[in-house]
Structure 1
């Protein structure tokens, strides 16, 4: 078979193209495998702690947004009632001004001095003039009241619109944090569901060992020896309420009576002791009086983690009552088993 120069050139070009492609393939690094998930029980415990901590932090933000939205909803309703009342006043003033205008029209719209000059009885004319002046004065007062009412109506309407906008923002924040909470909890539960019964028991043992180590370290600092052992009267009531809730399930966003999240339990415990405190652990840390850990007493609240995302009620003897996380229940645990941020006192 005869090869023409043209055919030979095409084959050479094709060979070069193939060689380049093979070379490029050889030089291209292989795609990295996806990052492996946790494999050891310690890694699983660490990831579960992280996921539930993230869920609890989002829960605190959800609760704050919910509390704000509730207050905003009441404010919007109040402003709307004020708008309605101002509207009724405006309508009533319009009726009165209309009646005054009709009365003046029937009176001929004549100035008082002209009515006096034309009157057959000057005495009656003086009476009529006095009544006319009173009517004019009353009309002017109504006009002034009308302008004030309209101004109030505009202000209240603007306030209600602004508050409604803020309310919508709070509801969007609630929805955003609700999605975060549910995603973290779902991921954590899926991770736990892959474990066999034996692994779940071992995981619980590892968790208890970590808590015991943290508690021993905390107690070793001599905190319990220095802390006050006597609760205040209100503190005793708060502890009594929390004790009655032992065994009830944790549900994020719940504040009783059948289930609680961490700050739902502490806020309700102190409410039943006669003292209203903020709803979330972040707000409790920010707004309640701080006391040194060495000076805490039963009834005080221990705030955990650097973001103040968890809170528990200190009951004395180095123990707390808390609602820990999804899948758990209200229970007694060591006070030093988690990273302590500080202590606050509701009845300082």
Structure 2
């Protein structure tokens, strides 16, 4: 009865389950910002409201400190997004496995019913005519030929009976296994759903905190904040290029790599949405996984799994289509497209865009195809 409830719960679950700004291009060696744009203005002690009256100071933090704080919050949201995506992917796999097991349980029950029917028919035949099957009655005959026929029929009947009982035992063992597996997958499914929910809370908390910081800025300050982001990326890209990292990178993309690059770059301008895999919005690993799926090479869904499972290569051996993994926790990924640039989905509030490949801290490079 317990197994039946488990199977029914699995089937019920399956039914329930059925239920940035315009893109900013950043190239391998962008022009340096103007001196005026490079100045980091500190917050004023006081601001004036729309009616000319004084307003209390927003914060003692400089705009650069605010930028770093917002960046850290979005980084934490990115890490939580990877955890959410991994839990979501595992939930999908578990639900598919539960569907398979539910079907196997239904088929197993039908098979057992059929085998029991066959066994019952054989038992009824055995007890006809005084409890002796037809074969046994022939064995009592004085006719030698009828006697031999009777012996053969009895042997055949015994083999058939053993066969049916063996099949029945096997089917019952399989059903037991399916039920246990369904229970195991149900528990895993519930665990992954809890992980998803927890990751979702973290994502929303970090994004809300970042948005709150931005909302406290005046329009002019938000414009300067965007400029500061671009300048920070420019400094990192310039340092990366100055190191000679790009000197030996001149390899051509593979045929599938070209397809992946074409897909990814065609998504430029679409908004970043955490957990999204297209077609209207993406997060960072949603973009790269879908680009390679379009190229006929499915890869792991998350940036951390892409880093863990795909072939790692040296930066000097990088070619268009390869994936660059960023930050120590592998929480961000972009696709290298050549000339020192990547296409990526940066963060909430931004759109799929081009950026310098060295504009963020590089953890390493992976290649989806050989």
TM-score higher than 0.5 here? Answer: yes
Find the counterpart in structure 2 of residue 303 from structure 1: 325
Find the counterpart in structure 2 of residue 146 from structure 1: 168
- Mapped partners of 2:208, 2:277: distance in 1: 22
Larger Rg computed on CA atoms = 1
CA distance 1:92–1:189, shift in 2 (3 Å): same
Tell me the SS of whatever aligns to 2:335: strand
Aligned partner of 1:252 among 261, 269, 274: 274
CA RMSD, Structure 1 to Structure 2 (Å): 2.2
Find the counterpart in structure 2 of residue 103 from structure 1: 125
Tell me the SS of whatever aligns to 1:140: helix
Q: How far did residue 127 of structure 1 move?
A: 3.5
**Are 1:161 and 2:183 counterparts?**
yes
Find the counterpart in structure 2 of residue 200 from structure 1: 222
Tell me the SS of whatever aligns to 1:259: coil
**Are 1:92 and 2:114 counterparts?**
yes
CA distance 1:154–1:132, shift in 2 (3 Å): same
- Mapped partners of 2:309, 2:77: distance in 1: 23
Contact 2:125 2:133 in 1 (8 A): no
Q: State the Cα deviation string for residues 304-337 of structure 1 (Å, max 9, x = none).
A: 0000000001112221111000010001111111
**Are 1:243 and 2:265 counterparts?**
yes
CA distance 1:111–1:255, shift in 2 (3 Å): closer
- Mapped partners of 1:166, 1:37: distance in 2: 46
Q: How far did residue 40 of structure 1 move?
A: 2.2
121-130 vs 154-163, greater mean Cα deviation: 121-130
- Which structure has the highest helix share of the two? 1
Q: How far did residue 157 of structure 1 move?
A: 1.1
Q: How far did residue 121 of structure 1 move?
A: 6.0
- Mapped partners of 1:212, 1:274: distance in 2: 34
CA distance 1:113–1:270, shift in 2 (3 Å): closer
Find the counterpart in structure 2 of residue 79 from structure 1: 101
Aligned partner of 2:209 among 175, 187, 207: 187
Contact 1:112 1:129 in 2 (8 A): no
Q: Structure 1 stretches of 5 or more lacking a match?
A: 1-35
Contact 1:297 1:314 in 2 (8 A): yes
- Mapped partners of 2:135, 2:153: distance in 1: 13
- Mapped partners of 2:103, 2:135: distance in 1: 47
Tell me the SS of whatever aligns to 1:311: strand
Aligned partner of 2:346 among 324, 338, 341: 324
Contact 1:38 1:44 in 2 (8 A): no
Q: How far did residue 221 of structure 1 move?
A: 0.4
How many residue pairs were aligned? 313
Contact 1:321 1:333 in 2 (8 A): yes
Q: How far did residue 176 of structure 1 move?
A: 1.0
Q: TM-score, normalised by structure 2?
A: 0.79
Q: TM-score, normalised by structure 1?
A: 0.84
294-303 vs 307-316, greater mean Cα deviation: 294-303
